[in-house]
Each structure stands twice: as structure tokens, then as C-alpha cells.
Structure 1
Amino acid sequence: MLRLSVWLALGAFVSCNIPCPDETVCSDHTTCCQTEQGYSCCGYPNAVCCPDLSHCCPQGFRCDLVSKQCEKVTASWMDSPFLLKKAAGGPPVIPLQSLSYSNIIEKVSAAVIRCSSKFFCPQGTSCCKGLSSESWNCCPYPLGQCCADGLHCCEYGYTCNIHPLACSRRTFMSPSTTWIEEHPQNGR
């Protein structure tokens, strides 16, 4: 009985789930954000939850509800697309986000990850090659695992399976979610 208790306690510690105030659970590297129905998981760690109760932004960005973009607090010319919150306790496979385009390369700060000379992702995310040779997408997970379909990604420690589309971790497997279409934006 003591061995079982120790294994259960150790398993809860290793899983690194984030408890939300309403007792739902979000996976590691996500943030609990309040919604109209309770709490959901934002795909960014330490995210900013938007006041519309539907979207979230990476740390260091603020919600611009008019343009429906995440605006960099210290560089208002640099935008990132909103990330739609996922249901708490949902699968770790998430859609890639569209990228921001910047023609002011010299102004891109260390707070972004450069995917190429034209595309970048917010710090704390990962670059994933898109469907075309010139396209890139942002995976909201740091050290994210890019799926071969060019549309999805998994968090660190998971492997992406295409058929069925799911992220798996040893014997655990969860279904995929849909993705957000890529729309590169011109710099301001």
C-alpha cells in the first residue's frame, strides 16, 4: 500500500499539470485563462488573458481587441496573432499560429525567435516550417515538436503522429485539433 501511495504521489509530481481555480487542469507550458464558461488553457506559458474571455497573448504582449492582435508592450510595431484558448484538460496537439512579417529586420529584438529573414515568432515559442517552401508557423510551445503535416505541433516530450493526428507520450495518446490558417502580415 505504501509503494502504491509513493508511485501515485510521484506520478502527480512528474506530470506537471497546472490546476485552474475551477479545478480543471491545463498541461505544462500553458496558462489557465477565465472564459465565459469557466477556465480554458492558453497555449502560451505565463500568458496574458484577453478581456474578451476568448483569446490570449504571449507574455510581454498586450491584447488589442480592435485589431484582434497581440501587440508587443515595448515595440508596438511588432504584432502577433491572437491565440484562441483551448478547453482545459484538452489534448496537447494544437494548431500552429500564423506569423507576423517584419520589413524592419534591424528593429527585431531578442524577444523574438527568427525563423527566416522575413518571419519571426514570439519568444517562448518555436518555429515550424509551413506547407510551402517560404512559409513558417509558430508553435506556442517552447521546444515544440513540429508535425510533418506542416499544420500542427506538440509540446516538448510528445511525438507527433500523423495517422491518427495526435501527440503521444509513451502510452498516452490524445486527438488533434484543427489549425489556424497562416496569414503573414506586412510590417508597420
Structure 2
Amino acid sequence: MTLGNVTTHSCCPSRDAVCCADGRHCCPKRTTCDLAAGRCINNEVDVPGTRTLRLTPAKQHGKKSTPRPVTGVIVPCSDGRSHCPDGYTCCVAPSGSYSCCPLKDAVCCDDHVHCCPHGTVCNPDRGACQKGLLHMPWSTKVPATPLS
């Protein structure tokens, strides 16, 4: 994204995502942005439970980016030691610590790496989220922030 003469980079929490025209949001692979509705569209069909994902600013010097609350509201994780930004869901990570799914009330997949929109199920055979016959890309979680 370009701000004046300076180009900055942002990270989308969804792997192989599509960047939206506003430079502040993104959608999962194989979908398009509907900025007016704040949703992601799959082949002109509204995908239930999906929404555009807010980009997280990239950290410099190779540091991993961590989610930051936009509104100051946090979602505490059940370990009592970490939290996620408002609109995210706490999920257990492979290490046993917590990570943040960039979807509200998400389904945490059993692989402890991915998550799906509310009302869908994780389909590890397809590497996607499923609702009936509809398949959509699943989201990749990001590390949770320690409570201070």
C-alpha cells in the first residue's frame, strides 16, 4: 500500500489472500471484496459468515506481527494469560499456547493452525471450511498477545 511517497506493507491474516482496493482490508483466496457490505464474495455468491479481514501492520526486522486491538476492546483467552483483538476468536495453537483467529465466534480447527467462520466445519481433506456443499478457504491464526 502506498502512503504519499512511502510504500508500506501490511499482513493479511488469511493465507494467499486478495487485497481489497482500500488497502486496509483483505479477503480469503478465491473471493472478492465487497467493501460496501464489508464482506467477501465467492463467485458472486455471498459466503455466509465471511467478512473482510482487517490487515495487521507488518513488523520490521523480521519480527512476527501480533494482532492489536483496533477499538481497545480485547477478547481474553481461557488461559488467563493472553488475549486477542475484538472481533477475533481465541484458539489453541499447536504449542498449547493461544492464537487468534481473525473471525468472530470462529470454529477452531483440530489442526490447531486454521479456523473457519461460525456455522461452518473444518474439512482437513480439502483444506477448507465447509457449509453443506459449499467450500471456502479457511483462515490461518496469528499469535495471541500476552496480557499485561
The yes-or-no answer on 1:19 pairing with 2:40 is: no
Structure-2 separation of matches of 1:130 and 1:69:
14
Q: Which amino acid aligns with 1:165?
A: G
Are the structure 2 counterparts of residues 163 and 119 from structure 1 closer, same or farther at C-alpha, using a change threshold of 3 Å?
A: same
Are the structure 2 counterparts of residues 186 and 20 from structure 1 closer, same or farther at C-alpha, using a change threshold of 3 Å?
A: closer
| Residue number in structure 2 paired with 1:148 | 110
Structure-2 separation of matches of 1:69 and 1:129:
16
Which residues in structure 2 correspond to 1:90-101 (within 5 Å)? none
Q: Which amino acid aligns with 1:164?
A: R
* Long gaps (5+) in structure 1: 1-16, 32-42, 48-55, 58-62, 76-110
Q: Which amino acid aligns with 2:51?
A: T
- The number of aligned residues is 105
Deviation at 1:29, TM superposition (A): 4.5
Structure-2 separation of matches of 1:72 and 1:113:
9
Question: Computing the radius of gyration over CA atoms, which structure comes out larger, 1 or 2?
Answer: 1
**TM-score, reference length from structure 1:** 0.43
Q: Secondary structure of the equivalent of 2:91? A: strand
Are the structure 2 counterparts of residues 119 and 71 from structure 1 closer, same or farther at C-alpha, using a change threshold of 3 Å?
A: closer
| Residue number in structure 1 paired with 2:86 | 123
Structure-2 separation of matches of 1:165 and 1:122:
25
Q: Contact conserved, 2:82 with 2:145, CA < 8 A, in 1?
A: no
Q: Which amino acid aligns with 2:132?
A: R
Deviation at 1:172, TM superposition (A): 0.9
| Residue number in structure 2 paired with 1:30 | 51
| Residue number in structure 2 paired with 1:137 | 99
Q: How big is each residue's C-alpha offset from its partner over 1:64-97, in whole Å with a ceiling of 9 and x where there is no partner? A: 876866655676xxxxxxxxxxxxxxxxxxxxxx
* Long gaps (5+) in structure 2: 1-31, 42-46
| Residue number in structure 1 paired with 2:131 | 169
Tell me: higher relative CO, structure 1 or 2? Use CA pairs within 8 A at least 6 residues apart: 2
Q: State the identity as a percent.
A: 25
**TM-score, reference length from structure 2:** 0.53
Q: How big is each residue's C-alpha offset from its partner over 1:129-153, in whole Å with a ceiling of 9 and x where there is no partner? A: 11123x1111111110010000000
- Considering fraction of residues, name the structure with more helix: 1
Q: How big is each residue's C-alpha offset from its partner over 1:140-169, in whole Å with a ceiling of 9 and x where there is no partner? A: 111100100000000011111122221100
Query: What is the aligned-residue RMSD (CA, Å)?
Result: 3.6
